[in-house]
Amino acid sequence: MATTSNDAAPAEGKRDAIDLAVTVHQMEPVPTPFVSLRLRLLGLVALVLVPWLALVMYTQADERKVAIAHVNADAMRLIRIATSNQAAHIEAARELLTAFGRLPQLRTKGRAACQALLADMLTAYPLYLNFGLAEPDGDVSCSARAVRGSVNIADRPYFAQAVQTRRFAIGDYQIGRVTQLPQINYAYPMVDNAGKVEAVVFAAQSLSWLTMALSNVQFPDGAILVVTDRNGTVIARLPDAEGWIGRILPEPSVLATLSMQKDGGVFEATDAQGVDRLWAHAPLIAGFDLHATIGVSRSVALADINRRLVRNLLALGLVTLVALGAAWFGANFFILRQVDALVAATGKLASGDLGARARLVGGRSELALLAGAFNSMGATLEARDRDLRIAEERTRVAEIELAVTRAHMDIARQIQRSLLPEDPLTLAGVRVAGRCIPAVEVGGDYFGYFPRGINGVDSFVGDVSGHGVGAALLMAEARTLFLSERQIAQSAARILSAVNKLLYEDLDRARSFMSAFCATFDAATRELSYANAGHPPALLLRADESSCTLLDADGILLGIRKDAEFSEVKVPLRAGDIVVFYTDGITETQNDADALFGIDRLARAVVTRRQQEPEMLIASVLAELSEFGGVRQRDDDLTIVVMKLTA
């Protein structure tokens, strides 16, 4: 998460007074009234300026306390940003395992089918090293990766916690018994209606994702951030993560404090290199023994305060010299009057009144110039102090809010992008390509095409109502259900029916709905079977025809009725035929005149570019769509998939 605030910047808004100091020069006494008068004036100036020096030192000490408090507060904000990044990944793992736990084929289709399903899921979720299923006694019965011999995980803390609590659990740093790689594990129990644990589904995740996610968060100069498990083992560190992963945190005093402050806090301690640091820490996610800790160098945090102290002392020294010169050369009534006026002004300033000004008396004498300089300094510092307070507060709030938003959106965009096919699919005389452009960082559109054996292709296009993270989460769940159900159901209509039943409760709670178009192509029969759930009809352009035909079928939106049934239509295809699937964001794009792009314009664009390969055809259509919409802001996601029979 990243904020970019200066460590000591908050302290600059806390100046309470302007302080001046004097060094009294010792002089040999001269027994004359003239010299005695000057000495008395010097003594008077010294008595006035010495309290200022004391006040400057007291104020500087108070600023150090305030600066440390603000550094700790900013460190805790950085911790919340960093933990929000990691909590998003852990929440994604929990939702994924929860979805896995509802898949009946993990328990009913045999070991081979279970392994095949988990292998497909591992391919679809490249952030993980392995998925597996363990029996209540800890024996691993199913794994996405090949298992050599028998493997038992009953002694793993995450397995025991999942079985005991019947809830999602997070493990410690470990070397995986299946992957033989450093990893952190998640587990979720599959519980029957009687409350008995039937099995535990688990996921192994590489530790590299944690370091990469933390690398997007900007930290103060010289700061370090570590993530540790319940044993104090480092599972992520910035900077210089390499060489630290898997080691016990080398600062025993920090470890001791972390064990006592389970819910987070701030403290001071020396690190392994002997650097005094201000530490702040918080749980990575509530209820799990993972902690994120940030340490800021004390010298870096107080650098600005120390520089201001030197600057103030130099300024005070300069003012002292001017005041002593004026007292030495202006030993008369008018000088004393000016001193009295200056003393009165400094008294107000010492009490915290930055608006205090000295009264100018005596023309252009040294003390009059000093009073004028004092007044200018007071006015400048008063204005600067006011401006700094306002600017620093606005900047701090804006940077924190912007960093949190960017961190969340970057993670969501990265995850959603990984769920979409990256390359076209060529199989059994058919080539399929697709493209999705969300209206904001993440969207509610999805498309996918997957081979069914060596002679078939399953395609799916969906559109969840709304935009943003909520729609993206529902679409990710729909994708997982589609990938699962296509392994069981043998037709497009049955796939949609199964997905609707499993997705209905979540859509209903979210007060949302979803349109979808599902199609299966059999290269052996050259037939395209499709079903529609309230989605815009697909376009079919025959090789020997000059216009497109609409492919539609009866079916209501997903999430409207749990027991909804969908009709299935079969259409034969020949070499050169083109089928186009799309979402309503394509046809409902408007230009500056509020005219819609429309299905007719889309059909003409496909006919005009029928000789192009699917990916080039998609690029051409999107270019025409962009030119049509002009500079008008899009308010819906754009998705288009093109299937072309090449033989």
Q: How confident is the model at residue 406 (pLDDT cuts 50, 70, 90)?
A: low
Q: Could you give the angle at the alpha carbon of 229 between the alpha carbons of 124 and 224, nearest 5°?
A: 95
Average pLDDT, the chain: 79
Confidence check: pLDDT of 2 > 70: no
Instruction: Please tell me the least confidently modeled range out of 91-95, 257-261, 265-269, 363-367.
Output: 363-367
Q: How confident is the model at residue 271 (pLDDT cuts 50, 70, 90)?
A: confident
Tens digits of residue pLDDT in 353-368:
777 777 665 556 666 6
Same domain, 430 and 316: no
Same domain, 311 and 388: yes
Give the total number of structural domains in the chain: 2
Q: How confident is the model at residue 10 (pLDDT cuts 50, 70, 90)?
A: very low
Same domain, 431 and 548: yes
Instruction: Please tell me the least confidently modeled range out of 130-144, 310-324, 435-449.
Output: 310-324
Same domain, 335 and 475: no
Flag whether 396 is in a domain. yes
Q: Write out the residue range of the structural domain in which residue 497 sits.
A: 420-645
Instruction: Give the position of tokens 């305060």.
Output: 305
Give the per-residue pLDDT at 213: 61
**Which tops the pLDDT comparison, 464 or 331?**
464
User: Of the residues 370, 402, 434, which one is the last residue of a structural domain?
Assistant: 402
Taking a C-beta distance cutoff of 8 angstroms, is the pair 358, 371 a contact?
A: yes
Instruction: Please tell me the least confidently modeled range out of 135-144, 246-255, 479-488, 553-562.
Output: 246-255
Same domain, 340 and 433: no
Same domain, 591 and 640: yes
Flag whether 337 is in a domain. yes
Same domain, 383 and 430: no
Flag whether 614 is in a domain. yes
pTM confidence score: 0.44
Give the per-residue pLDDT at 518: 96
**Which tops the pLDDT comparison, 508 or 337?**
508
Confidence check: pLDDT of 153 > 80: yes
**Which tops the pLDDT comparison, 321 or 589?**
589
Q: What would the two tokens of residue 332 be?
A: 């008369």
Same domain, 514 and 635: yes
Instruction: Please tell me the least confidently modeled range out of 160-174, 327-341, 418-432, 445-459.
Output: 327-341
User: Of the residues 375, 402, 429, which one is the last residue of a structural domain?
Assistant: 402
Distance CA 17, CA 58 (A): 11
Q: How confident is the model at residue 317 (pLDDT cuts 50, 70, 90)?
A: confident
Flag whether 549 is in a domain. yes
**Which tops the pLDDT comparison, 239 or 322?**
322
Closest C-alpha among 487, 478, 422, 485 to residue 451: 487
Listing DSSP states for 539-551 in one string gives EEE-TT-SSEEEE
Flag whether 631 is in a domain. yes
Listing DSSP states for 597-643 in one string gives -HHHHHHHHHHHTTTS-HHHHHHHHHHHHHHHHTTPPP-S-EEEEEE
Same domain, 491 and 637: yes
**Which tops the pLDDT comparison, 167 or 59?**
167
User: Of the residues 371, 402, 433, which one is the last residue of a structural domain?
Assistant: 402
Distance CA 526, CA 528 (A): 7
**Which tops the pLDDT comparison, 573 or 256?**
573
Same domain, 381 and 471: no
Distance CA 507, CA 571 (A): 31
Flag whether 310 is in a domain. yes
Same domain, 510 and 627: yes
Tens digits of residue pLDDT in 463-517:
998 777 788 888 888 889 998 898 888 899 999 999 999 999 999 998 999 999 9
Flag whether 507 is in a domain. yes
Flag whether 3 is in a domain. no
Same domain, 512 and 386: no
